[in-house]
């Protein structure tokens, strides 16, 4: 058998997991020194590169002192926690990466809780010790307290610690030592993590953790062989989620080396691999020996907390920019997404053109919508709503978020007041060494919808907010969201600078001059709470007494442009976001002003 170590790198978002993997690939010699390698090479998805975050878990492997170290890079954002939950069962331990200044954050707690429950013995990596305000000793104490709070056993509390700078590519066992490479981290992995104890002579058993799709090979299942051997051409049995069984044949096998999958003839117990030949396989299902078709325990995935209605685009501009417009095409795309996005749920509604899509959070859902619009889909979505449950005592409960906010001290008072107005409960407060304040809250998930933009305004862009799902708690009553009303276009036409200039004192505009709008489109936010129907297409009446050239130049404030996430956050319950490959527009669900007025009565 090969000498193998299987590890996952887990951490809160932006604590340096993917950058650290870059250094491990380079310094192990897996990626040759002369070969060009993009920064954060594991983030190969276009959306990942643009946003600077990991969205999908990926496997790689490095060879160090004759040992193959299989590494799984995991997302650090709470909305993609489903990806983390799937892959933790594939590995024997984790590298828990913690920022040397920020310390443990909400997602750190989430991934550590899952890892400890599986019996892993984590290696703690205190990263970014090169930061000028790093506080590695205090962060180590905070990590130890977190292990205690999560019920770690005595062995897990004796965790090894490595200090590192993933960006500069060095690691050490003592922050006062000097080092110029990652050797201490590699040695710690070989020393502290046990090789897999899986039996290659037992009947085959492989569990699928994640899926890829290849245009030539079809569906590619990625997972770990927990027992036996798997060879190309073997006949196997696939045991499904519902307990049914079907016969299949292994057509291709791949192991991981660096950034590539390498075709191989055989995989033994304890190794991670990719396999083709099963076009209808799903995550969590088991590939077995035909004579011993016994399923492994299914991978438990947390339930969604947020839902929205996704519909066919019905605006007057529908069909002008996209290729895929019908409910059948949208449903087929959602079904394909369900095959690998296990934290997503899709349900039919009483309307054939609308579907209820549920996920872990706004980012989880908006990434799906962004991928669809780039593929040529047109659609519209409703305001997100939290998924409310009723407990065994008949009480209504709702999802609560754990929120960590770091902001300059002069803005902390405003932030605390806003959070309390949104039914937030302060759980912890401390002064950081750099003059900022760190405040922690427990707050309903729905209270955070639409708050991020307001938070950045309140802190002049200097605040940082991290969230993670905490639990379901008692429903906390009504929460006021958007304060301003909508400015809604009266009729279709091109906007004029003359009209926008006269309207801009009424509120904030979302469109500039010369843009085509339609009746019922939301083109601004009113300073007051009421809806304001306006005509942005009105032009100046010219006569022989005056002309457009005789007036002074009009000065317009630049319009506010929405990203997809901000648009979804902004809309009210009677509004939709229209999403096309080229445009993001806000609109009323009922476009005609008269009908809207009648229904409100």
> 138 by DSSP, 3-state: which?
helix
Q: Say how far apart CA 590 and CA 159 lie, in whole Å.
A: 59
CA 401 to CA 422: how far, in whole Å? 12
Cα–Cα distance measured from residue 161 to residue 181, given in angstroms and rounded to the nearest whole number: 16
Indicate if the alpha-carbon torsion angle 244, 245, 246, 248 is positive or negative.
positive
Backbone region of residue 128 per phi and psi (left: phi > 0; alpha: psi in -120 to 50; beta: other values): left
Q: Is 356 annotated as a binding residue?
A: no
The answer to the question of whether 127 is labelled as a binding residue is yes
- Which distant-in-sequence residues (6+ apart) come within 8 Å of 64 by Cβ? 28, 186, 189, 190
Q: With DSSP H G I counted as helix, E B as strand and the rest as coil, what are the percentages for the chain, rounded to 5? A: 25, 35, 45
Q: Which residues pair with residue 480 across a beta bridge? A: none
Residue 53 is encoded by which pair of tokens?
Answer: 């975050």
The Cβ-side half-sphere exposure at 220, using a 13 Å CA radius, reads 16
18 assigned ligand-binding residue: yes
What b/e readout covers 140-159, taking b as 16+ CB neighbours within 10 angstroms?
beebbebbeeeebeeebeeb
Distance CA 516, CA 522 (A): 12
Could you tell me the sign of the dihedral formed by the alpha carbons of 316, 322, 323, 325, in that order? negative
* Residue 17 labeled ligand binder: yes
Cα–Cα–Cα angle for 96, 193, 204, rounded to 5 degrees: 110
Q: What is the DSSP string of 257-318?
A: ETTEEEEESEEETT-EEEEES-TT--TT-EEEBTTB--PPPPPP-PPP-EEEEEE---STTT
81 is in an annotated binding site: no
| Best CA proximity match to 231, nearest among 204, 202, 267 | 267
Query: 416 labelled as ligand-binding?
Result: no
Tokens representing 226 are 């927990």
**Sign of the alpha-carbon torsion through 85, 87, 92, 95:** negative
Is 551 labeled as ligand-binding?
A: no
Question: Where do the H-state alpha helices sit in 165-245?
Answer: 183-192
* Cβ proximity of 336 and 327 under 8 Å: no
Q: Is 234 annotated as a binding residue?
A: no
Q: How far apart are CA 381 and CA 369, in angstroms?
A: 9
Strand 4-11 with 93-99, pairing = parallel
595 vs 601: CA distance, rounded Å:
10
Asked whether residue 137 is marked as a ligand-binding residue, the answer is: no
Which candidate, 214, 202, 226, places its Cα nearest to that of 263?
214
Neighbours of 67 (CB within 10 A): 16
CA distances from 317 to 322, 460, 514 (A): 10, 37, 16
For the record, the structure tokens of 69 come out as: 């170290």
Q: Which of 416, 472, 468 is CA-nearest to residue 105?
A: 468
Token pair recorded at residue 246 = 């079907």
- Number of separate helices (H) and strands (E) present in the chain: 14, 35
CA atoms within 13 A of residue 539's CA, in its CB half-sphere: 8
Hey, what are 286's tokens?
């088991």
Known binding residue 252? Answer is no
Annotated binding-site residues read 14-19, 127-130
Q: Which residues are annotated as a binding site for GTP?
A: 14-19, 127-130
């Amino acid at each position: 058998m090969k000498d193998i170590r299987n590890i996952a790198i887990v951490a809160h978002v932006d604590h340096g997991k993917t950058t650290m993997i870059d250094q491990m690939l380079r310094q192990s010699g897996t990626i040759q020194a002369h070969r060009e390698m993009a920064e954060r090479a594991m983030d190969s998805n276009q959306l990942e590169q643009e946003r600077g975050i990991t969205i999908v878990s990926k496997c790689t492997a490095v060879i160090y002192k004759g040992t193959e170290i299989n590494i799984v890079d995991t997302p650090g954002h709470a909305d993609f926690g489903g990806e983390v939950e799937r892959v933790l069962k594939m590995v024997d331990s984790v590298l828990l990466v913690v920022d040397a200044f920020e310390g443990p954050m909400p997602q750190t707690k989430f991934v550590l809780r899952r890892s400890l429950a599986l019996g892993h013995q984590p290696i703690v990596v205190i990263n970014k010790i090169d930061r000028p305000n790093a506080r590695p000793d205090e962060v180590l104490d905070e990590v130890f307290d977190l292990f205690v709070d999560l019920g770690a056993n005595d062995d897990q509390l004796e965790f090894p610690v490595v200090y590192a700078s993933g960006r500069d590519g060095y690691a050490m066992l003592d922050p006062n030592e000097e080092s110029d490479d990652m050797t201490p981290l590699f040695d710690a992995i070989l020393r502290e993590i046990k090789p897999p104890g899986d039996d290659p002579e037992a009947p085959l058993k492989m569990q699928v953790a994640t899926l890829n799709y290849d245009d030539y090979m079809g569906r590619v299942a990625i997972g770990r062989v927990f027992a036996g051997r798997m060879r190309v051409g073997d006949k196997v049995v696939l045991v499904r989620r519902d307990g049914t069984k079907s016969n299949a044949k292994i057509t291709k096998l791949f192991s991981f080396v660096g950034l590539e999958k390498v075709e191989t003839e055989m995989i033994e117990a304890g190794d991670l691999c990719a396999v083709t030949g099963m076009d209808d396989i799903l995550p969590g299902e088991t590939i077995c020996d035909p004579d011993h078709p016994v399923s492994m325990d299914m991978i438990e995935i947390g339930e969604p907390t947020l839902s929205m209605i996704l519909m066919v685009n019905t605006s007057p501009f529908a069909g002008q920019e996209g290729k895929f417009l019908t409910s059948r095409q949208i449903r087929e795309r959602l079904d394909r997404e369900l095959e690998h996005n296990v934290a997503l749920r899709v349900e039919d509604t009483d309307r054939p053109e609308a579907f209820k899509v549920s996920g872990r959070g706004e980012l989880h859902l908006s990434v799906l919508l962004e991928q669809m619009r780039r593929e040529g889909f047109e659609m519209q979505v409703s305001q997100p709503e939290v998924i409310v449950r009723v407990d065994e005592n008949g009480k209504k409960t709702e999802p609560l978020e754990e929120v960590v906010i770091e902001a300059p001290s002069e803005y902390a008072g405003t932030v605390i007041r806003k959070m309390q107005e949104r039914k937030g409960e302060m759980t912890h407060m401390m002064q950081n060494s750099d003059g900022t304040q760190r405040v922690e809250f427990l707050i309903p998930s729905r209270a955070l919808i639409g708050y991020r933009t307001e938070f950045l305004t309140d802190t002049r862009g200097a605040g940082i907010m991290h969230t993670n799902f905490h639990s379901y708690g008692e429903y906390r009553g009504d929460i006021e969201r958007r304060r301003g009303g909508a400015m809604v276009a009266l009729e279709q036409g091109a906007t004029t600078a003359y009209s926008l200039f006269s309207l801009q004192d009424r509120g904030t505009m979302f469109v500039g001059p010369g843009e085509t709008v339609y009746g019922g489109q939301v083109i601004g936010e009113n300073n007051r709470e009421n809806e304001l129907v306006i005509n942005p297409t009105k032009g100046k009446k010219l006569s022989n007494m005056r002309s457009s050239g005789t007036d002074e130049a009009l000065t317009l404030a630049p319009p506010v442009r929405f990203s997809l996430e901000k648009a979804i956050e902004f809309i009210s319950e009677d509004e939709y976001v229209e999403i096309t490959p080229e445009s993001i527009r806000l609109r009323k669900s009922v476009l005609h002003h008269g009908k809207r007025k009648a229904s409100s009565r």
